Structures are given as C-alpha cells and as structure tokens.
Amino acid sequence: MSLPNYQEFMRPLLQAYAETTEPCKIAKMEQVVANKMHLTSEQQSEMIRSKRNTVVYSRLHWASYYMYIAGLLRKPQPGYYEITPAGISALKSGAQINDAYLSQFPDFVAFMKRSNMKIKNTQGGVETETCSASQDPEESIDSAIGEINAALEDEILTSVKNIQPQRFERVVVDLMEAMDYGTGKLTQYTADGGIDGIIYEDELGLSKIYLQAKRYSDSKINEKEMQNFIGALASNGVSKGVFMTTSYFSDKARSRADKAQNMIIRLIDGAELAKLMLKHNLGARAKKNYDIKEFDETYFQ
C-alpha cells in the first residue's frame, strides 16, 4: 500500500496538533500521525531518494509548513508548531484539508505565487497546480533528478555500446582511475592474453588489478568467457580482477566468478557501468548546480 501524499497528511496532522498541550516539533508528531493513520513499520522507514529523511517526515514537514503559511498553524519558536483558531475551525468544518482548501487564505496564495507553484483545483477564484499531488517539494526535486539521471544513464550506455572495442577498453581504465583504484594502462590489443587493462594500485606496481572489457549490444557474457578471464588472472599470478561489459552476465558466468579460488572478481554489467560513469563524470558533466538549504534552528538558540 502506498503512503498517503503530503496533502492527505494535513488533517490527521492538524488533529494531532489540536490534541497536544504544548508546541511540538515535527519529529515528535511523526509517530503520533503514523499511529493515527495505521502506517506499517515498512512505510514509516521508507526514505526519500536523497536518504536525508523518511518520506513520512518529509511529507509532514511540508504539510505543516503549508498549513503554517495559510494560518492554520503558528510557530511560537523556531522549529515548533501549534494549532491556531483558524486550524481549529478547519477541523470543525469537516472539510478535506489540502492545497485547494488552503487556497482560500490569501497568504497561502501569495506564497504559491512567489514559489511559482499552483494548486490543482479551482477554489475561491484561484487556479492552481502543485508540482505533484503525491510528492512534497523535496521529493519532487529528488524525483526530477532521478529522472534526469536515468535518462543520462540510458544515453551513456547507448553511446558506449556504439564505440569501438578499443575505445571501450580505454573507458574501463578511465573509470577505474576515476574511482581512485590506482594508475591504469591498456595492454597491447593484439596480444593481451585476455586482459585489456591493468590498474597499478601502488606506486611501485606491486599490487595489480586486471581488467576485462567486453562491448556487446545484447549477447550475455557466458561461462566460457569468464573461465578464460579467470585463467588469465591465474597465469599471471593476479588475485584481483574486474570484468566490465555493456551487456549482462549469464547466471553460470556469475557463479563461475564467485567460485574462483583465491581470487576477488568484480562483475559490472551495462546498467551499473552507466551509473558509475555518470557518478564519476565520464560521458557527463555538470550542467547546473542548485543550492538547496534547510532551516538551521541552532543558530537561534
């Protein structure tokens, strides 16, 4: 069962504030509201994409803030909320409390206009639409970034699948260097013995990681190819290897890598490869930075 959206949290949250005898922080309200709405432990532990807060806390935060802007709550001190007479009237009215309901309050409408946001329903002559009926602003930012990154990963992987095999070997070495595993070099293409690159983990080259790069469009890496890679490591006395591909590994290939004795073999398929390239800015670069801030109540203490 999906979590209630931030607007669905408004009435039970306002009710919780009405039942308290003193101003409360949102963190104190989180469990109270969760109990009121019969949320499961799994729902309560679900995190937003950035892992900064739980989804419940994030939605309660924005529900509280929007009701504060509208005048249903007030802040007697930073970080604390309590219900107002307008909030009590809202509860007594029995109305559904959401962005459309809040749009009857001029301060809320003015805030939405300043924020370049609108509310979905038309009420009191105000035509509005929030960024998402189910997500609060922070979640919407996280989701938007996730969508952008997913599209970039797809574009990166498509591009990598279309480069020359030699160029892909260079990409694999570049990625290992970008992840700070050491200094890399490509082997001779015509006689690499099944090894496409070497990472020297220390300055003297006493510890090495051997690399295998396979640029396939659809074909999976099979058990025989994995066995050849393991054999190349063994014949060179190397215990660590990384096998990267633009496609996938068969179950037998993965099993063979897991069972390689006295070796650590890391397998990276196309999906993970694209994520790592994006993370380490290979085939992607920063376009725009956003400085998202949060309130620091410790400054006022």
Tokens of 147: 């969508």
**Cα–Cα distance measured from residue 232 to residue 71, given in angstroms and rounded to the nearest whole number:** 71
Long-range residue pairs from 269-276, CB within 8 A, at least 24 positions apart, any chain: 269/245, 270/157, 270/160, 270/161, 270/245, 270/246, 271/153, 271/157, 273/157, 273/160, 273/175, 273/244, 273/245, 273/246, 274/153, 274/154, 274/156, 274/157, 274/160, 275/153, 276/175, 276/179
277-291 tens-digit pLDDT: 999 999 988 877 777
Average pLDDT over residues 246-274: 95
Q: So what's the pLDDT on residue 193?
A: 62
Q: What's the one-letter identity of residue 126?
A: V
**Cα–Cα distance measured from residue 165 to residue 163, given in angstroms and rounded to the nearest whole number:** 6
272: pLDDT strictly greater than 80: yes
Tell me the HSE value of 297 on the side-chain side, using a 13 A CA sphere.
Answer: 6
**Cα–Cα distance measured from residue 136 to residue 42, given in angstroms and rounded to the nearest whole number:** 20
210: pLDDT strictly greater than 80: yes
CB 276 within 8 A of CB 244: no
Under the banding of pLDDT at 50, 70 and 90, the label for residue 115 is low
- Taking Cα atoms as reference points, which of 183, 249, 188 lies closest to residue 216? 249
**Could you give the angle at which helices 165-178 and 270-279 cross, rounded to 10 degrees?**
50
Under the banding of pLDDT at 50, 70 and 90, the label for residue 110 is confident
CB 63 within 8 A of CB 10: yes
217-248 tens-digit pLDDT: 878 999 999 999 999 999 999 999 999 999 99
**Cα–Cα distance measured from residue 128 to residue 50, given in angstroms and rounded to the nearest whole number:** 28
51-87 tens-digit pLDDT: 778 999 989 988 998 999 899 999 888 788 999 999 9
**Cα–Cα distance measured from residue 202 to residue 184, given in angstroms and rounded to the nearest whole number:** 11
50: pLDDT strictly greater than 80: no
Under the banding of pLDDT at 50, 70 and 90, the label for residue 117 is low
Q: Return mean pLDDT, the chain.
A: 86
Element (H, E) at 211: strand 208-214
- Taking Cα atoms as reference points, which of 36, 108, 23 lies closest to residue 74? 23
Q: So what's the pLDDT on residue 148?
A: 74
Check the CA dihedral 125-127-130-133 and report its sign.
positive
Under the banding of pLDDT at 50, 70 and 90, the label for residue 127 is very low
How far CA 281 is from CA of 42, 153, 174, 198, in Å, comes to 34, 11, 11, 21
Under the banding of pLDDT at 50, 70 and 90, the label for residue 12 is very high
131-183 tens-digit pLDDT: 445 566 777 777 677 757 877 888 888 889 989 989 999 999 999 999 999 99
191: pLDDT strictly greater than 80: no
Q: So what's the pLDDT on residue 116?
A: 56
